[in-house]
């Protein structure tokens, strides 16, 4: 009988291409692949400059980690980088199937745990029940508060958003195949179009995911073509990230309200969408449907996972009246991996199936 199998540290691979080491997590079912090592230096004086540099010079890293055969079309990732902000513990660039997000709430909830557990922030004082992690996202500085015990993460995480505001309400768009549709556009670190699925002839709780994706994607493309997105701070943030279909239950209720977010290149968020919850609360507050510090629960129609959120104080973003939103949820670790490249692999940079 042969002896025990000896497993090398890494399989044969291109010695000129460092292995990409990652920690995988999920928040409410939505994956997050955090790069530990192997990504070349991301150059730039500011986080937004680093985001541009990575898009222009290091996009192969995103494709290798997000795309098949190492990922899938709904994979999501994070590359940690230094921040120019003195109060930030870390900076982060968010990766999706199309490019680079400006904000990601589910990732912030996971990164809060990760930063504490992997020593990226000072250990909290003895007996502390919560640790502060300041995360510099492309949209700005986001404060995460991580429940902890004995200096390690334990339990839920909450974050306070950048100023969230409403860009447009009751905007009429002509959506091919769906006709005239009334949408709202709001910002929670990223811009989303919001529409009740019922207006599109769908039930967000029971419709097939592919039908929800098709409808949301059609709305996204129509809004992009017919509505000008602008952000008072930076043109880098002035783009429509996706569409969130809701159950239409915007008036305050103690029962969860359900939604599904379709973003980037028809990517489906398995969680209730942290930045989407932020924008949706800003929208409800703007319409007088929600008061400060009134907590609502938001449920994902994809997995049933729940985030809670509330507007904690008023703010400004340029000339826009805004609110700071607190979003809470739970993130979990799922594993670690090291991804390699062989120099003769024709699919080394990955692929996606439509």
* Residue pair 335/24 in contact by the 8 Å Cβ criterion: yes
Token couple for 220: 């996204």
Measure the CA–CA gap between 331 and 158, rounded to whole angstroms.
11
Q: Smallest Cα–Cα separation from 281: which of 312, 318, 238?
A: 312
Bridge-based pairing state of the strands 331-339 and 306-317? unpaired
Q: Smallest Cα–Cα separation from 178: which of 218, 213, 124, 118?
A: 218
Task: Tell me, letter by letter, the H, E, C secondary structure of 120-183.
Answer: CCCCCCCCCCEEEEEEEECCEEEEEEEEEECCEEEEEEEEECCCEEEEEEEEEEEECCCEEEEE
Cα angle 106-108-114, degrees, rounded to a multiple of 5: 110
Measure the CA–CA gap between 134 and 188, rounded to whole angstroms.
17
Residues designated as active site = 104
Measure the CA–CA gap between 110 and 63, rounded to whole angstroms.
21
Q: Which residue has the tokens 């890293």?
A: 61
CB atoms within 10 A of CB 179: 10
Peptide bond preceding 126 in cis form (omega within 30 of 0): no
């Amino acid at each position: 009988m042969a002896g025990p199998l000896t497993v090398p540290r890494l399989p044969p691979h291109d010695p000129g291409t460092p292995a990409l080491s990652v920690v995988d997590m999920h928040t409410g079912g939505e994956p997050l692949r955090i790069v530990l090592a192997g990504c070349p230096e991301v150059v730039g004086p500011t986080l937004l400059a680093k985001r541009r540099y990575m898009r222009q010079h290091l996009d192969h890293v995103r494709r290798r980690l997000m795309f098949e055969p190492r990922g899938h079309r709904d994979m999501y990732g994070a590359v940690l980088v230094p921040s120019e902000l003195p109060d930030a513990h870390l900076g982060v660039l968010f990766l999706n199937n199309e490019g680079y997000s400006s904000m990601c709430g589910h990732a912030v909830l996971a990164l809060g745990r990760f930063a504490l557990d992997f020593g990226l922030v000072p250990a909290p004082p003895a007996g502390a029940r919560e640790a502060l992690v300041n995360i510099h996202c492309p949209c700005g500085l986001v404060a995460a508060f991580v429940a902890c015990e004995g200096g390690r993460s334990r339990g839920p995480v909450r974050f306070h958003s950048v100023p969230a505001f409403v860009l447009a309400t009751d905007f009429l768009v002509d959506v091919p195949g769906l006709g005239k549709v009334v949408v709202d556009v709001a910002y929670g670190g990223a811009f989303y179009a919001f529409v009740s699925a019922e207006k599109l002839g769908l039930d967000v709780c029971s419709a097939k995911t592919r039908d929800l994706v098709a409808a949301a994607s059609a709305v996204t493309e129509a809004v992009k073509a017919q509505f000008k997105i602008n952000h008072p701070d930076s043109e880098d943030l002035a783009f429509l990230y996706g569409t969130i279909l809701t159950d239409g239950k915007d008036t305050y209720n103690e029962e969860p309200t359900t939604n599904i977010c379709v973003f980037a290149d028809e990517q489906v968020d398995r969680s209730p969408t942290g930045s989407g919850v932020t924008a949706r609360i800003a929208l409800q507050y703007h319409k007088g449907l929600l008061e400060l510090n009134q907590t609502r629960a938001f449920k994902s129609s994809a997995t049933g996972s729940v985030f809670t959120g509330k507007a904690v104080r008023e703010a400004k973003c340029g000339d826009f009246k805004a609110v700071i939103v607190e979003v809470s949820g739970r993130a979990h670790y799922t594993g670690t991996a090291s991804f390699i490249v062989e120099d003769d692999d024709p699919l080394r940079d990955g692929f996606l199936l439509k």
